Every structure is written in structure tokens, then in C-alpha cells.
Amino acid sequence: MLALLMSVYTFGQEMKESSNGISKDIASSAMSTHHGLIVGTQTDAPLTETSVWALPDNGGTSQNNRAPSNYFKYQRTEYLITPAEMTASGFTSGLNINSIGFLVQTAGTGTLSGTLNIYLKNTTDATYTLGNSWTTSGFTQVSTKASYSVQINNNAYYVIFTAGTPFTYSGSGVYVAWEFSSTGTVGSYPVTHFCNTSLTNGLRGANNASALPTTLSASNYRPATIFSTATAFTDVVNVTNIYTLGKLPNPYGTPAPLAVRVSNVSASAASFDLTITVKDYATNTLRYSYTQTGVSVAANTSSTINFTAWSPSISEDVYITASASTVTGEDWVANNSLTVFSTVNTNLFSYSFGTPVVNSNYGYTYPGFGIFS
């Protein structure tokens, strides 16, 4: 069996966002390691509180007010996190969202204090449908902060909801709306936030020097967004890695190695079944499946489980999924499964993880899929 390298590949891209007098060319990594888009890892940490990447970034960045900015006195922004993105995040239906978080790529200079209001709305919309006028119709005002200081440091941060109405996530998509107003002096250099650009015109936003704007402009740049709930869960099994070939030449790379790393983050030994499947990307046709029953991992340890070699015969793109069965007493199961992407071809090897296609529970502290603890 080939020795696999736990590698993460980055692909540079040029992105440009320009509005309201600010223009910046950004050479960024589409697959950044610290906030997790193309690594096959989840965290090894048990949960004390649940925070997930409701909207992970995909390499875009913006100095405009996609998240609260230190550079504009009056700001309004509304954007959609789609049902598919919320499902991928693993955030559980029926839970209250009690804070929102954003991710700073480059620190700003000079903070700005003012009033920050935040609103949330459940929706089934897959595209943004609220138009170009500021509206909070149907929204719940979840927070108001009369003396909020815009965060400008280079890290992820939370805005904990206060003085608002509790918001219960219904299991579909979520609209986020926020407004900020200040009579203070703006910073001398704008804070830069990581963004997701995958939804065309998924955001509306505007800023003004003298009053809150009522007409918003469309943008593809939605801020990378964290949702949190105060509810604690019991996490036991965590499928952290899939080791395989990202590119597999047939027949020269067959049989293909398959191995799965599983962590037990509880204080007791855990026993479970572990299944790995390979499906064609285009048709979802099952190409390979195998289950190891009675896999046992000691308390607070990890184990790598090898699988019977997979020998593909068709050149195609495939999903490779590893899933652990639920352990008794475990009620957080979003990290019991991990999916990566691989290509079966005729002449190319790649000793790397495939591109994740089930992007659940992105973590900031750990490189890759994860959950804040």
C-alpha cells in the first residue's frame, strides 16, 4: 500500500470587489487551511457549546461592509444562507441561534463604535428574493447593542446576542440582516473579512456618511458566518480523516488504498460500525461499499482503520464517504460522517485528500472540518 501524504493544496486566484469608492485586488487562497475548505479533517475536541460555519468562506475577501466595518459611519447589509448551506453546516433544527461570528482576513486600523442591530429570518429561498430596498419584514430582531465597537483584529470573533428576541432555527435557510450607525470618527484603514462568493447576488448592502441607506446594491460577497447555540451536546465519535488518492490512474494506481481515522472524544471506550462508500459524482451510482462492524476505540484516543482495497475500473469523478454509526448516548452526529472527492483517470497520481463535498461543521481552531468548543 502506498504511503499517503496528508497534504493540502492551495490554488491561487484573483478576486476583485469594488464599490463605494473602495477597490482592491486580492490574490487569495481558495483553499485556505486555517478556516477549512480543502482538508479532510474534523476536530478531535469534545463539545461544550455548538458553533458551526453556517457559511464558510471560499477564498473571497472584502473591505466593504459585508460584516461590520470600521470604515463607514452608516451601514446596512442583508444576505442569504441557503437551505443547502445550512444543512451542510450541521446546525440542528429547533435550536436557538444566540450569536453570530465573522472572520477577519486582514486587520483594520482604528476601530469605530456605534449602535449595531441584528436580525434573522427563516426561509426556504435558494436565491436572494428580498429586493434592493432595506427591509426587516418577517425578521426577528435578535440583538441590539448601543455601544458596539467594530472588531478589527485578525481572527474569528463572535457577536453575542443581547436585548433581542430569541430566534429558533426551523431547519431550512436563514436570512441575516444587520445595521450599524455611528457619529464617531471612522478608521484610517478598513478591516478585511473573508467571504463566500458561491451565490450570485446573494447579498445586498450599502453604506453612507450621513444616514442609514435605504437602497442596497447586489454583491456576490457574503461574509463567512458562524452561528452558535448555547445548547451543549454529547459528542463521542468523530470521523476526522479519509486517507486515499485524490487522483487515481487506472490501472496503474489500483488497487487504491482506503483508510479512515476516527477519534473517540468521550471518557469511555466506544464501539461502532464504520462504513465507507464510493459513488459516481454524476449519477450517484454506488461503486464500492464496505462496513467494518464492532470497531472499538479507547477513550480520548484515535485510531486509523484500513479498508479492503478499492479497484475502480471506470474513469470518473467519485465521492468517497466514511460514516460511523451513532453510539449510545451520542446526540451530536454531524461529525460522524466525512466525504471527499477523487478522480479516477488514466495517467495522474495525487497523494492528497480529495476536495470535500459535504462541507459540514467548519472549524477555525483546527485546520479543516470542525466545531468550536
**Beta-sheet strands, E only, within 298-336:** 301-306, 316-324
Q: Tell whether 63 and 211 lie within a shared domain.
A: yes
| pLDDT for residue 113 | 98
The alpha-carbon radius of gyration of the chain (Å, integer) is 22
Q: Tell whether 69 and 199 lie within a shared domain.
A: yes
Residue 296, domain extent: 237-363
**Tens digits of pLDDT across the chain (373 residues):** 333 323 222 222 223 332 232 322 222 222 222 232 222 334 454 444 578 889 999 889 999 999 999 999 999 999 999 999 999 888 889 999 999 999 999 999 999 999 999 999 999 999 999 999 999 999 999 999 999 999 999 888 999 999 999 999 999 999 999 999 999 999 999 999 999 999 999 999 999 999 999 999 999 999 999 999 877 778 899 998 998 888 888 877 788 889 999 999 899 999 999 999 999 988 999 999 999 999 999 999 999 999 987 888 899 999 899 999 999 988 878 789 888 888 888 877 654 443 333 333 333 222 232 222 2
CA 15 to chain centre: 20
Q: Tell whether 272 and 143 lie within a shared domain.
A: no
Q: Tell whether 244 and 312 lie within a shared domain.
A: yes
Q: Rounded CA gap, 194 and 11, in Å?
A: 16
Q: Tell whether 316 and 184 lie within a shared domain.
A: no
Residue 148 falls within a domain, yes or no?
Answer: yes
Residue 33 falls within a domain, yes or no?
Answer: no
Amino acid at 339: T
Give the end of a domain, one of 223, 251, 271: 223
Q: Tell whether 268 and 345 lie within a shared domain.
A: yes
Prediction pTM value: 0.64
Residue 219 falls within a domain, yes or no?
Answer: yes
Q: Tell whether 212 and 243 lie within a shared domain.
A: no
The terminus-to-terminus CA distance of the chain in angstroms comes to: 36
Q: Tell whether 205 and 70 lie within a shared domain.
A: yes
Residue 135 falls within a domain, yes or no?
Answer: yes
| pLDDT for residue 13 | 26
Looking at residue 280, which CATH number applies to its domain?
Answer: 2.60.40.10
Q: Tell which phi-psi region holds residue 125, choosing left (phi > 0), alpha (psi between -120 and 50) or beta.
A: beta
Cell 463572535, residue located: 158
| pLDDT for residue 235 | 85
Q: Tell whether 217 and 245 lie within a shared domain.
A: no
Residue 176 falls within a domain, yes or no?
Answer: yes
Characterize 288-314 residue by residue with b for buried, 16 or more Cβ atoms within 10 angstroms of its Cβ, and e for exposed.
beeeeeebebeeeeeeebebeebebee
| pLDDT for residue 256 | 84
* Cβ within 8 Å of residue 65, ≥6 positions away: 71, 72, 75, 76, 77, 180, 205, 207
> What sign does the dihedral 320-326-330-333 (CA atoms) show?
positive
Residue 45 falls within a domain, yes or no?
Answer: no
Residue 114 falls within a domain, yes or no?
Answer: yes
Q: Tell whether 267 and 326 lie within a shared domain.
A: yes
Q: Tell whether 245 and 279 lie within a shared domain.
A: yes
Q: Is 255:307 a contact under the CB 8 Å cutoff?
A: no
| pLDDT for residue 181 | 98
* Cβ within 8 Å of residue 67, ≥6 positions away: 77, 102, 193, 223
Domain count, the chain: 2
Q: What is the largest CA-CA distance in the chain?
A: 68
Residue 3 falls within a domain, yes or no?
Answer: no
| pLDDT for residue 276 | 96
Q: Tell whether 321 and 282 lie within a shared domain.
A: yes
